[in-house]
Structure 1
Amino acid sequence: MAVLIISSGIFQACQKEEGKTGAPIIVKSNTQYLKFNLASANQLTISKDDKNGYSITTTGGDPYIMTEEISKARHADSVVLSFEYKSSKDIDRLQVFFGPDIAESRSLFGPLLSASSGWRTYSLIMPKELEKFSWGKAGDILRFDFGTESGVNLAIRNIYFRKMNALELHAFEEEEARIRQEESIQRAWEEYLAKDYASKISEVKIDATTVTITGEYNGDGAFSLCEVVPMDTLVAMKSFRERTPLDSRSFQVTLPRFVTRNGLNYDRLLSRWVIVKEGGNGLLIDSHARYPDLIAAQQSMPPGVLKSKKGLGGFFMNSFASDLDLLGITSITINIPITAMMYTYPAANTIEHEYGGRRYYFSRNYLNGIDEALRLTASREIVVAAIILIQKAAECVDPEIGRLLQHPAYTPEGIYTMPNLTTDRGVNCYAAALDFLASRYNRPDNGNGRIHKWIMHNEVDAGLTWTNMGRKPMMIYLESYLSSMRICHAVTRQYDPHSEVMGSFTHSWSEPVELYSSKEMLTAMQKFSIREGDFQWGVAYHPYPQDLNEPKTWNDTRATFSINTPLVTFKNLEVIDYWIRKNENRYLSSQKRTLWLSENGTNSRSYSNKDLMEQAAGFAYAWKKLSLLEGIDAIQWHNWIDNRTEFGLRIGLRRFPDDETEPGGVKPVWYAYQAAGTEREDEVFEPYRSIIGIRQWNEIMHNVIP
C-alpha cells in the first residue's frame, strides 16, 4: 500500500494497490538514497540491514535519528520524500526536521504510519517546505522523529526524493486551489468586519419556545431576514436556508425556536441572523450577523465569587486533595475531554441524554471522578472552570463520536482537534455534550458539583498542536473557534445566567508560536464581538517563562514592556493586564473581561536545593506582580504535582508521586504558594529577593509602553 500526503495542506489519500500512487514510481539508477547517521540515534537502537535498509527499535518517548549529509544537491523537481517500511505499531506523529538547523519551525508532521507486517511505501509531498527552508544543498541533513512510544519495531529502506507522479501533481494542484479559495475567504472576513452596513439587527432574544429578532433595514429594494447556522460560512454564502421577507424598515420578527431539519430537532439558540438584500448578482449581505443577546435561563444560579487570586490547575481527586485547604485555594481548572466518556449507543454503565432528537450516552465511571472532585470544590465554594477538550478520532471511546467530532481538516500533528461544526450531526453531537455537562453541573442543590466557567479547548494560537483543524488562515480558524465558544455560551446560559466561556492562549503575544499570535486573535475576537453582538467571554492565558525549563523568568529577553512584546510571560504581566483593562477590550465597552492565568508554573530542573529555590523564586516574582495587577483575577498553578508525561518538566508544587526519596513531597514552591496572600508572605518570600537580584519588591514592577 502507498500512503500519500501533501504536507502544506490537508490532502491525504491511501492507494490500496501495492506500491502505487496512481502511476508507477520509477527509480533512476543514479538516485541518491538517504543514509542514517547511526551515531545520532536518540532513544532508539538501529542496525544497518543492507545497502539502503535499517532495523530500528524505539526505546523512549523521543526517538529520533539524523541522516548523513547529502552528497549532491537535490534536483528541483524532486519534492516527494519516499521510503518503504514495516512497523509493529502505528506511528501517529512522524515528524521530519530540515537540517542542518534543527528547530520546530523547520519541521513538518506526516500522516499516520500504519502498522504493517509487509512492506509499504510512504510518500510525503513537500515542495513548499523544501523551498521555504532552502533545503537540498549538498551537506544538508534531515532528522526523522518516530513518534512518542517506546517498543516500536520498524524496518525502513530506500529513503529518497523523487518527482511527483501524475496523481500527486493533480492532488497538489487541487490543494493549491483550495488554499487560494481559503485566502479569498480570509479577505472576505476582513472586509466584513471592517464594513459599516446600512442595515442592522439590534437584538436577538431567546425564550422557551421562540426567537425574536429586532432590527432595521435601510435603502431601496427587497430585504429579507435570514438564518445562519453553525455549519455555514457566512461570507461565502450564495443562498440561505430560511428567508423571511421584511415588509417594514423597522421590524420585529418572532419565529419558532425549534425546527426539524435532516432528522434533527434543531435549536435556533445556536443560530445567528442577518439581513440580506436582493441584488442583480443574487443575495447580498446588508448587515452584520447577530447572535442571541438575551437567553432565558431555566433556573436561577448564584455566580461564582473568587475569594482570592490563588488557584490550582488540572485538579483531580488524589491523596493530596487536602491541598485545597492547606494552600487556601479558591479556584481550579479541571480537564474534561468529552470524547473520553461519550457514546452514540448505550454502552455498559452509561447515562442517557437526549438532545436534538438524538440519544447520547455518558460513562458513569468517568463521571464519578468528575463528580467527586466537583462536589468537593462546591462544598468549599471554589470557582471552577472546565477545560473542554476534543480528542482525535483514534482516541475516542466510541469511533462514531470520533467520526462526528474530529474536524475534517484535522492533521496528524494535533494532540486535540477543533470540534467538527461543518455538519449538522457534528453540531448536534457537540451541543449535546455541552448540554449534558451544563445540566449536570448547574443544579441548585450542587448535587453533582458546579462548573462556573468553560475554557474552550487549549492554546488555540498553537492550534496545530493543541486544537487542530489544519493550516488555515487566521480568520477562518478563529471564526470556527468563535462558533465553538458561542455554542457553549448559548447552551450553558440556559442553566446558569452567569456562565462564562474563556479563550485559551499560550504566552505568545505579537509573535506566533505556530501560525497565529495571541494578540492578533484576541483583537479579532473583540472585533467579531462588537460586530455580531457581544457576549461574556474571558481570557485563559498561559504566561509560562520564555523557556519552560528556566524558572528565572525575570531574565526573559523576548518579554518586554511594549504592548507589542513578542511574549507575555511572568516577567511582563503588566502587558496583558494593560490590554484587558482598556475600554475598547471590555465586555459591552464597560465591564472588564475575566483574565485567569489558567496554566502556568516555573520549573525545577532537578530536586537539588538550588533548582528548588529558583523555582520558588520564580513563583514569588510572579505572585508579587499579579497580586498588584487589577486586571488579573486569578492564577491556577500547573502542574499541581510533577507529572512524568509533562515533557521532562518539574513544574509542580509537589514532587513526582513515584519519587524514590519523597513521593509527592512538598517543594519550597509549595510553602511559597501557601504563604502567598497571607500575613506570612513577606517572611516566606524573603530568601527569594537575592536570587532575583533585587532589594525591594517594587523594583519588579514596570509601566507598559503603548
Structure 2
Amino acid sequence: MKKKITFWAALCMVFVCFMSMTVAAAGTATINQCIISGTDQITVVATISGVTSDDGNLYLFEMKQYQNDINGRNDFCAMAVNAPVVTFVTTLDHGTINSKLCSKFIVAAPQGGTFVPVSQPFYITNPEAIAKHTVPNPVTTSIKGITADNNAMSAITDLGIQHVSYELAIDRFFQPGPTLPYTYNGKVYNFNQTIVAEYDLIMGIFASQNVEVTMNIVNYFHPETAFTVKPSGRVNGYRHYAFNTDEQQGAESIQALMSFLASRYSNPTTGIISNWAIGNEVNNNNPWYFAGNYNVTNFTHEYEKAFRMCYNTIKSENANARVLTCVDQRWNWEDGTKNQYGARKFMDAFNSDVVSHGNIDWGVAWHPHPVPLTAAKFWNMPSNYKRLNLIDHTPNTKMINPQNMEVFTTYLSQPSFLAPNGQVRYIIISEILFNSMTSDEATQAASFAYAYKLAEKNPLIKGFIVHRAVDNVYEKNADKIACGLFNCDANGQVTTQKMIYNVVKFIDTPESAAYTQFALPLIGASSWQSLGVNP
C-alpha cells in the first residue's frame, strides 16, 4: 500500500507540473486601457506575460453586446507585434451598423492554428468623449426630493423640492401605436409617439421647476415587446425584468432607445435626466430585475452587460449624465428566497466585474427603507424584528436603514470602490418610504424628519427622495402601505394633505425646528442635538 501511494503521488506531481508548464506557455494578457482616442479611433493597451504566438503577433477581437466568445472567428479588428506592452488601434465606426461603442474587446493569440483568447474582455471607458451634450446638471442646495406623481405635480414647487424621481419603462416605447422614427447606427427604429409625448410633457414640467431628475429605468414583460427582456427571464409573475443583451434585436433596440432618450433629455428646454438608475433594486433578481435562475456571481455578470450598454450609450450622448445601479436595504440579509442576494454581495461582485472590464464612473441609487417596510419607526422595530438583531454599525450588519446609513457610505469609501477620479462614487437615496397606515400621520412625519436629518449630516448622500407624493391604491391594498404626502381616494385621486406635507416643506428651511419639534417625544429624545443631528 505504501508503494502504491508513493507511485500515485509521484504521478500526480508529474501531471501538475505538466499542466503548470502548459498554462505558463499559454501566458496571459491584461488589458489596461480601452479609450476613444480620436474622432473615429479606439486605442487599446495591454500588458503581456508569457504569451506564445504562432506568427509572433497578437490580435484584437471585438465582441458585440450579444456575443460572448470568438470561437471559429478570424475577423480581428487590429494586430500588433507580440511584446511586453502592446497597443492596438481600431476604428470606432459610431453611427454605422459596425459601431463598436458598446462592444467588448479581447486579445487573442494564434496557437495551433486557432485564435485563443488570452485576456479578459474590456469595454470602452470614456464614451463621453463623443458626447454632443455637455450642459451642466441643475445645481442643488438641498437633498430634499420626492417620487413625483402626475396627480400632484404642482406640489413640487410648493414643497421646495430639488430632486425628483420618476419611472421610465423601456418596453412602453416599443408598444404598437403611432410611431416616431429614429435613426441610430444606420438603422431606423420606431418608438411609440404617444409615450414619447407623455415623457416630453413630464420632462417639460421638471425643466420648468429646475429640479434634478433621477429616472428609474425598468422593463416589463409583455408578449408584443418580449424582445426587450432577457430570454431566460421571459416568465410571467415578476415585477420588473432584465434587459436583453443576449439577442441582436433586443440589445440594439434598447441601445437605440437609450440614445434617443439621452439625446432628447439633455438640455434645459426639453429637460435633463441627470441620473439614470438601470433597474430597480437589482440585488433582487426576484422580483425586481428578473433574469432567470442565477447565483449572485453569474447574475451580476449578466447585469453588468446591460449596465455597460446603457452607460456607454447614455454617456456618448450626454457627457454629464450619471448612470447608477440600484440596491435596497438588505445589506447582508438573505432569507433563502430564490434569486435574491444581499446588497453587499451584489455590490462586491458588480464592482469587481467593472474594475476588471474597465473602470467607469458608476454611481448608486439606494433604498435604505425602514425595516420592515410597514413600520415607520425605524429606531424602534417591532419586537419580532428586534430579536433578529438586524441593525448594527459594522459592515456585517444584516440590514441598513436610516439608523446606520454610514455603513453604506463608509463601505463605498474603500479604495477598491472609488471612482476612476479617486473620489467616492455618487450616492443618492432615490427611494425611501414612511408608512402611515400601520401607525398614524404623526409617526410617519416624525420618521421622515429623523431620517432626513440623519441623511443630511452625511456629505456623501447627495439626495433624499421620499416615496411618494400620493398614496397608491395598489400599495395600500396589497402591501398595507400608505406612504404618500397626500391621502387618496379609491380611484387613486388626491384628497387631503397629511401631516408629513409641511414637515417636508419646511425641513430644509430656517423654520425646520418649528415644524419638527413635535417629533422628539415620539422618538424618545430631548433634543435633536442629543441625536447627533441639526435641529
TM-score w.r.t. structure 2 length? 0.84
Counterpart of 2:521 in structure 1 is: 690
From 431, 447, 460, the equivalent of 2:255 is: 431
> What SS does the corresponding residue of 2:263 show, helix, strand or coil?
helix
2:133 and 2:263 in contact (8 A); partners too: no
Does the CA-based 8 Å contact 1:464-1:471 persist in structure 2?
Answer: no
- Pair 563,403 (structure 1): closer, same or farther in 2 beyond 3 Å: same
Aligned equivalent of 1:416: 240
CA distance in 1, matches of 2:393, 2:315: 37
- 8 Å Cα contact 1:510/1:567 also seen in 2: yes
Paired AA for residue 692 in structure 1 = I
Instruction: Report the Cα distance in structure 2 between the residues aligned to 1:328 and 1:555, rounded to whole angstroms.
Output: 30
* C-alpha deviation, 1:220, in angstroms: 4.4
Q: CA deviation at 1:282?
A: 6.0
Is structure 2 residue 141 aligned with structure 1 residue 310? no
Equivalent residue letter for 2:92: R
Distance 1:387 1:559 in 2: 28
Instruction: Tell me, yes or no, if structure 1 residue 268 matches structure 2 residue 100.
Output: yes
CA change 1:198–1:683 in 2 (3 A) is same
Q: 1:700 to 1:229 in 2, by over 3 A?
A: farther
Q: Matches of 2:191 and 2:508 in 1, distance apart?
A: 40
SS in 1 for 2:495: coil
User: Distance between the aligned counterparts of 1:434 and 1:630, measured in 2?
Assistant: 31
Shift of 1:241: 6.6
Match of 1:603 in 2: 435
SS at the partner of 2:205?
helix
Give the secondary structure class of the aligned counterpart of 1:307.
Answer: coil
- Go from structure 1 to structure 2 and tell me whether the alpha carbon gap of 1:491 and 1:552 turns closer, same or farther (over 3 Å shift): same
**SS in structure 2 at match of 1:671:** helix
In the TM superposition, residue 232 of structure 1 has moved relative to its aligned partner by 3.0
Structure 2's unaligned 5+ residue stretches are 1-26
Q: What does the per-residue CA deviation read over 1:482-516, in whole Å, with 9 as the maximum and x for residues that have no partner?
A: 11111111111122111111111121101236421
Paired with 2:213 and 2:39, the residues of 1 have a C-alpha distance of 27
Partner of residue 370 from structure 1, selected from 186, 199, 224: 199
Q: Which residue of 1 aligns with 2:417?
A: 585
- 5 Å-filtered alignment, 1:101-140, equals none
Whether the 8 Å CA contact 1:388–1:456 is kept in 2: the answer is yes
1:278 Cα deviation after fit: 4.3
SS of alignment partner, residue 452 of structure 1: strand
Matched with 2:344 is 519
Cα offsets for 1:325-373 (capped at 9, x unmatched): 2111111111111211225xxx543211122443222223222221122
Deviation (angstroms), 1:283? 5.0
Q: Percent sequence identity over matched residues?
A: 21
**Pairing 1:539–2:364 present:** yes
**Residue in 1 that maps onto 2:163:** 331
1:76-103: CA deviations, max 9, x gaps?
Answer: xxxxxxxxxxxxxxxxxxxxxxxxxxxx
The answer on whether the counterparts of 1:204 and 1:290 sit within 8 Å (CA) in structure 2 is no
Q: How does 1:317-466 map to 2 (within 5 A)?
A: 317-318=150-151, 320-343=152-175, 348-394=177-223, 399=224, 401-443=225-267, 446-466=268-288
Matches within 5 A, 1:614-633: 614-633=443-462
Shift of residue 198, structure 1, vs aligned partner:
4.9
1:215 equivalent in alignment to 2:46:
yes
More helix by share: 2
Q: Is the 8 A contact 2:218 2:280 kept in 1?
A: yes
Deviation (angstroms), 1:459: 1.0
Over 3 Å counting, the alpha-carbon distance change for 1:571 and 1:239 in structure 2 is farther
Q: What is the rounded CA distance, in whole Å, between the counterparts of 2:495 and 2:448 in structure 1?
A: 19
Partner of 1:478: 300
Q: Is 1:468 aligned to residue 468 of structure 2? A: no
C-alpha deviation, 1:389, in angstroms:
1.2
- In the superposition, relative to structure 1, how do residues 339 and 457 fare at CA in structure 2: closer, same or farther (>3 Å)? same
Give distance in 2, aligned partners of 1:460 and 1:431. 19
Alpha-carbon offset, residue 663 of structure 1: 4.2
Q: Distance in 2 between matches of 1:628 and 1:404?
A: 41
Which residue in the other structure is 2:442 paired with?
613
Question: Secondary structure of the equivalent of 1:547?
Answer: coil
Q: Give yes or no for contact 2:36–2:92 (8 Å, CA) kept in 1.
A: no
Question: Which residues in structure 2 correspond to 1:42-81 (within 5 Å)?
Answer: none
For the pair 1:564 / 2:396, whether they are aligned, the reply is: yes
For 1:301 and 1:685, the matched residues in 2 are separated by 40
- Cα distance in 2 for partners of 1:497, 1:589 equals 15
2:134 counterpart residue number = 301
| Counterpart AA for 2:290 | N
Residue 87 of structure 2 is aligned to residue 252 of structure 1: yes
The residue type equivalent to 1:301 in the other structure is T
Amino acid at match of 1:455: A
CA displacement 1:612-644 (0-9 Å, x = unmatched): 111111111101100101121111111211000
Offset of residue 436 of structure 1: 1.3
CA distance 1:316–1:602, shift in 2 (3 Å): closer
Gaps of 5+ in 1: 1-195
Paired amino acid for 1:427? A
Query: Kindly tell me: are residues 275 and 460 of structure 1, through their superposed partners in 2, closer, same or farther at Cα, counting changes over 3 Å?
Result: same
Cα distance change, pair 524–323 in 1 and its aligned pair in 2 (3 A): same
Number of the residue aligned with 1:506: 328
How far residue 599 of structure 1 moved from its aligned partner, in angstroms, is 1.1
TM-score, normalised on structure 1?
A: 0.65
Distance in 1 (alpha carbons) for counterparts of 2:380 and 2:249: 50
Report the Cα offset of residue 257 of structure 1: 2.3
Cα distance, 1:403–1:531 mapped onto 2, change above 3 Å: closer
CA contact (8 A) 2:135 2:266 kept: no
Mapping 1:178-217, distance limit 5 Å: 198-205=29-36, 207-217=38-48
Larger radius of gyration: 1
Q: Distance in 2 between matches of 1:286 and 1:698?
A: 58
SS at match of 2:271: coil
- The aligned length equals 486
Give yes or no for contact 2:240–2:290 (8 Å, CA) kept in 1. Answer: yes
Q: Determine the C-alpha separation between the residues in 2 that align with 1:530 and 1:348.
A: 42
What is the alpha-carbon root mean square deviation over aligned residues? 2.6
Residue type of the alignment partner of 2:514: E
Cα distance 1:202–1:298, how it changes in 2: closer, same or farther (>3 A)?
Answer: closer
Q: Which whole-Å CA distance do the structure 1 matches of 2:72 and 2:531 have between them?
A: 57
Tell me, yes or no, if the aligned pair for 2:28 and 2:49 is still in contact at 8 Å.
no
Amino acid at match of 2:66: M
